[in-house]
Amino acid sequence: MVYNPTKAPLQRLRTAVAEHERRRGWRPTRWYETAGDDAGRAAARRAADGDPEVVIVAGGDGTVRAVADVLRETGMPIALVPSGTGNLLARFLGTPLNDVSASVSAAFTGVDRAVDVGVAEIEDEEGVRRTHVFMVMAGIGLDAQMAHDTSAIAKKHLGWLAYVTPIARSIIANRLFHLVYRVDGGRTRSTRAHTVIVGNCGTLTGNMLLIPAAVIDDGLLDVVLMRPAGPFGWAKIGTRFTLQSAARRSRITRRWLSRSPDLHSLAYVQGRRFDARFDTPHAVELDGDPFGHIVRARISVRPGALRIRGAAT
């Protein structure tokens, strides 16, 4: 068990794990607490040293990302106990969000699924390069600025309401930035955008479908560029996201969307690698956590690099 002590319901976890250990004759689970300075990488390395059957991860998307960084390509499966604000990966996979017992049961009795892992190679204006993984989304612009400007305390107590003010402020300002990008080493393109999101999954909190084509095990990344001309452009984007979300439940809405024209203010591209460079430094976030300001990024996918254990269907 790798757990974030500030988020995980520790007592309920220990009770549920002990029950399944007794019921199935497993040896005692080893417990590793995450540290704030590495989000869980050190704990994941210690957990992996014992060659476990499964590593249960109790925390938010940041904790899952840190553990995935260590365990990708090892073949060791992870199981999720969602304990954060967004829990976007768990939502996408259909993991119970408020049921510790069901999540722990899936870790002991579930089946494994190979999923893709995103890799972001980023460079700041000083030329310093870093490499990080992500499971859900990498964002530059509004998405990243929200991660930078919204405090952990606000997110803990307000949840996604904590993002309302930074979203409104950014939309009103509507500052577009210039970027040059290419997909899979193809033709270089130049554009202006307010926000760039590279997704491995496509659904946000509130069941908002941001990237309809995103599938976590298709070996591809899906990129959305938001480039509204003004408030009317933002209104079109908001309407399109709402309809995309509704289309999953309505055949009529799906049919209407399939016949509607593409929005100039909302561009989608897909591929295995996305390269971009920016005239000025911009904030970047990975799975909801800020990673500073960058001038260049290469974001790629590692197909099937991580095994996730979920409930058998």
Residues 182 and 298 occupy one common structural domain: yes
Please determine, for residue 37, whether its predicted confidence score (pLDDT) is greater than 90. Answer: no
For range 34-43, the mean pLDDT: 89
Please determine, for residue 160, whether its predicted confidence score (pLDDT) is greater than 60. Answer: no
For range 237-241, the mean pLDDT: 73
Residue 306 is predicted with a pLDDT of: 97
How many domains in the chain? 2
pLDDT band at 112 (very low <50, low <70, confident <90, very high): very high
* Better pLDDT: 157 or 143: 143
251-to-18, 257, 268 alpha-carbon distances in Å: 45, 10, 22
Q: Are 287 and 123 spatial neighbours (Cβ–Cβ below 8 Å)?
A: no
How many angstroms separate the CA atoms of 47 and 32, rounded? 7
Domain boundary among the residues 52, 87, 109 is at: 109
Q: Any idea which of 195-209, 226-240, 241-255, 268-282 has the lowest mean pLDDT? A: 241-255
Residues 94 and 129 occupy one common structural domain: no
Residues 147 and 87 occupy one common structural domain: no
The pair of structure tokens assigned to 224 is: 């959305």
Give residue 12's domain range: 2-109
2-3/32-33 β-pairing: parallel
Residues 97 and 137 occupy one common structural domain: no
pLDDT band at 267 (very low <50, low <70, confident <90, very high): confident
Domain boundary among the residues 80, 109, 138 is at: 109
Residues 96 and 143 occupy one common structural domain: no
pLDDT band at 293 (very low <50, low <70, confident <90, very high): very high
User: Tell me, what CATH number does 13's domain have?
Assistant: 3.40.50.10330
pLDDT band at 98 (very low <50, low <70, confident <90, very high): confident
pLDDT band at 80 (very low <50, low <70, confident <90, very high): very high
Residues 156 and 259 occupy one common structural domain: yes
Give DSSP secondary structure letters for 168-180.
HHHHHH---EEEE
Q: 309 in a domain, yes or no?
A: no
Residues 162 and 67 occupy one common structural domain: no
- Angle of helix 10-24 relative to helix 100-109, nearest 10 degrees, comes to 40
Q: Are 99 and 73 spatial neighbours (Cβ–Cβ below 8 Å)?
A: no
Q: 221 in a domain, yes or no?
A: yes
Beta bridge pairs of residue 190: 180
Number of residues assigned to the chain: 313
